Amino acid sequence: MRQLILASSSPYRRALLAKLGIPFDCAAPYIKEEALPGESAATLASRLATEKALALTAQFPGALIIGSDQVAECDGQLLGKPGNTENAIAQLRLCAGRKVNFHTGLCLADALSGKHSTLCETFSVHFRNLSPEEIRRYVELDQPLDCAGSFKAEGLGIALFEKMEGNDPNTLIGLPLIRLIDLLRQYQLDPLSRTPS
């Protein structure tokens, strides 16, 4: 079986990919994660996912490499990882009562052939109207400082939403598994048909 590499140091993506039961290794790619002038959120997410996967092809010449990146946007404003409590509170104040789109780029690169496939999956969340006290309490409890949009949907972040829209809730956490399985099946890596290792 081909070696499978997740081009990420994210514990969230690692946990999602582990759900498929396919053996994989992780390696952190080193790329500049900055938007180009005028670049849309979806284009940025797709480009960064591709750059992450391709950055590891020389290091793993026979592998299939998964790159993924997520960019959140609210009313055209890009939302990155907050990094600290104040930024998380500011992001959630911006999002309160609004729809936020999470664009998750996904790339599967075949280091052997040099080919790669890239796509972008969008998942949207509608935030409740949130009081300053609710926002501060949420940030204190869930500590979403390393999450785009300043929440953890797999944790208490679900309490912030009125509704969610999209094809795959895993997309919101950072790895669109339904689309990834489609890509992996092209290389005979199917979690439902492979022989257990």
List the domain range (segments joined by +) for residue 163: 4-185
- Residue bearing tokens 């409590």: 85
185 Cβ contact list (under 8 Å, min separation 6): none
Looking at the 3D structure of the chain, how many domains does it have?
1
**Alpha-carbon 83 to chain mean position:** 17
Q: Is residue 126 part of a domain?
A: yes
Q: Is residue 193 part of a domain?
A: no
Q: What is the pLDDT along the chain (197 residues), one digit of tens a residue?
A: 789 999 999 998 999 999 999 999 999 999 988 889 999 999 999 999 999 999 999 999 999 999 999 999 999 889 888 999 999 999 999 999 999 999 999 999 999 999 999 999 999 999 999 999 999 999 999 999 988 889 988 889 999 999 999 999 999 989 999 999 999 999 999 999 855 44
Helices (H), the chain: 11-18, 41-54, 85-95, 132-142, 170-173, 177-185
Q: Is residue 9 part of a domain?
A: yes
Concerning whether 69 is annotated as a catalytic residue, the answer is yes
Q: For residues 159 and 34, what is the distance between their CA atoms, to the nearest angstrom?
A: 31
Q: Is residue 104 part of a domain?
A: yes
Per-residue model confidence as pLDDT tens digits over 102-144: 999 999 999 999 999 999 999 999 999 999 999 999 999 999 9
Q: What is the pTM of this model?
A: 0.90
Q: Is residue 194 part of a domain?
A: no
Antiparallel, parallel or unpaired: β 4-6 and 77-79: unpaired
The catalytically annotated residue of 69, 110, 168, 182 is: 69
User: In this structure, what CATH number is given to the domain that contains residue 147?
Assistant: 3.90.950.10
Q: Is residue 191 part of a domain?
A: no
